[in-house]
Structure 1
């Protein structure tokens, strides 16, 4: 029940932050504020799964949100240039993971510098996710 409540709360914050972020970003130009909700969900992303963790991040004039390290997360998000597939570029091949299939899906939903973003990627299990994201602070919550 708590996990679903967290998902609903995160979605509500996304609606509020995303709407405000779009209005301000359009007024501010292409380098406007960003507001995102990041989730880690049990499952392969094709059907609604249980939200394991969620964090809200706002990168406007300061870094804020429920993310444990908003400044590092804002810097990491800016490094992607709004293209979150860049997080998948350099997995840690030296980290051993089991071949057990227990899928998890990560999502990034919101507004990045005035552009609407809805990104998700599924991994075979949490170890593969961790090795692929390789310490990136965006999903370190």
Structure 2
């Protein structure tokens, strides 16, 4: 069992090292690699993942996100402050006042630095109103 755990850990480490560009011979961009996992979870403690997407913005733009170019541009516009993803809620959108928490999260590497960000909204309508068309969580 220990040998299997060690083999899986070594394989994971090798995969992550290759994904971040550490083991490649080509020069890294000045900002460094950017690859994140985006999730939306439901419930008090975010126990149920309802949506997830991968997004790589550097060295190439790709991932399972439906519009990776727009999502990468929106993340770049935050200049590293991911709280900037949150907008002033749309004043013309009315949401029910019931508590059914939803959490949006970004985890991975952004411009060569480890990032882990999350924000919990009281319900999905409040999340949609607060993100107000932001393409990062439009998947």
TM-score bracket, shorter-length normalisation: 0.7 to 0.9
Is the counterpart of residue 49 in structure 1 residue 52 in structure 2? no
Match of 2:96 in 1: 98
Q: Please point out which of 132, 136, 139 is paired with 2:137.
A: 139
The alignment's C-alpha RMSD in Å is: 2.3
Q: Which has the higher contact order (CA 8 A, sep 6+)?
A: 1
How many residues get paired? Answer: 124
SS at match of 1:35: strand
Match of 1:35 in 2: 35
- Which blocks of at least 5 consecutive residues in structure 2 are unaligned? 1-11
After TM superposition, the structure 1 = structure 2 runs for residues 1-141 of structure 1, keeping only pairs within 5 Å, are 16=15, 20-21=19-20, 23=22, 28=28, 30-44=30-44, 47-141=45-139
Deviation string, structure 1 residues 49-107 (Cα, Å, up to 9, x no partner): 10000000001133100000011111111011121101114221221001011000010
Structure 1 pair 19/89, CA: closer, same or farther in 2 (3 Å)?
A: farther
SS at match of 1:56: strand
TM-score under structure 2 length normalisation: 0.79
The structure whose Rg is larger is 2
- Which blocks of at least 5 consecutive residues in structure 1 are unaligned? 1-12
Match of 2:8 in 1: none
CA distance in 2, matches of 1:107, 1:134: 16
CA distance in 2, matches of 1:139, 1:97: 19
TM-score under structure 1 length normalisation: 0.78
CA distance in 2, matches of 1:128, 1:17: 35
Bigger helix fraction: 1
4+ residue segments displaced more than 4 Å? 15-19
